[in-house]
Amino acid sequence: MHNDINPTQLIPGTVIAIRYPMYKHLAIVSDHIMNGMPNLISLSFRTNGAEEEPWSTVVGNHTVEQSYIQGHHPKEIVLLRARSYINKNIKYKLLTFNCEHFARYAHGLSIESIQVKRALYGAILGAVTCALLPKFTVTRLALIITASTVTSLKSSLHKI
């Protein structure tokens, strides 16, 4: 397990980011310890709801870093808000209520997902680029061919 942080020194209520190839899963450090490591509270696709689980279950062998998410609530309130979603009928929804929404909610911040926004903006930019690039490339190629032809004709006419 490669970590940029020491799990045993994390303050309960801290949000960590577990790195995956295409995204980061966010979890809240618990005040409950199991096997010398803090438990983590998160909302995930894997559990389809909020759960408090052992560090090893949530992190596995992924890299962990501290998240940018930090509200103004004391850790007791953050943990109380996070735990209030455990065993409730709150389901994981990638676009509208994912791990980042959950962590921001627990910290009393606006409920949004920067990761989702970036992914949507990237998808829109990619779609626009794909739609325009072929037209731009064909137009550009036509201009280059026309310019080359005109230059070639001009050179040929000067020789006559």
pLDDT in tens, 13-40: 999 999 999 899 999 999 999 999 999 9
pLDDT of residue 106: 97
Cβ pair 36, 80 in contact under 8 A = no
| CB atoms near residue 15 (< 10 Å) | 27
Global pTM value? 0.75
Query: Which 8-state DSSP code applies to residue 3?
Result: B
CA terminus-to-terminus distance, the chain: 76
pLDDT the model gives residue 2: 46
- Domain match, 87 and 52 both: yes
Tell me if 40 is assigned to some domain: yes
C-alpha to C-alpha distance for 26 and 128, rounded to whole angstroms: 30
Q: Of 112, 132, 148, which residue sits at a domain end?
A: 112
Tell me: pLDDT of 63 over 50: yes
Q: For residues 126 and 26, which has the higher predicted lDDT (pLDDT)? A: 26
Q: Using pLDDT thresholds of 50, 70 and 90, give the confidence band for residue 147.
A: low
- Both 102 and 160 in one domain: the answer is no
Which residues touch 83 (CB under 8 Å, ≥6 apart)?
Answer: 41, 52
Q: Are residues 119 and 148 in the same domain?
A: yes
Please state, as a whole number, how many other Cβ atoms lie within 10 Å of the Cβ of residue 51.
19
| 142 and 103 assigned to the same domain | no
Q: Is residue 1 part of a domain?
A: no
pLDDT of residue 5: 84
Task: Check which CATH number belongs to the domain holding 18 and give it.
Answer: 3.90.1720.10
60 within domain boundaries = yes
| Same domain for 24 and 64 | yes
Closest CA relative to residue 45, chosen from 91, 4, 7, 96? 91
In a domain, 126, yes or no: yes
Q: What percent of the chain has pLDDT over 90?
A: 57
Domains in the chain, number: 2
Q: Are residues 107 and 136 in the same domain?
A: no
Higher pLDDT, 158 or 15: 15
Residues 107 and 129 in one domain: no
* 32: containing domain: 7-112
Q: Which of 93, 112, 131 finishes a domain? A: 112
The last residue of a domain, from among 74, 97, 112:
112
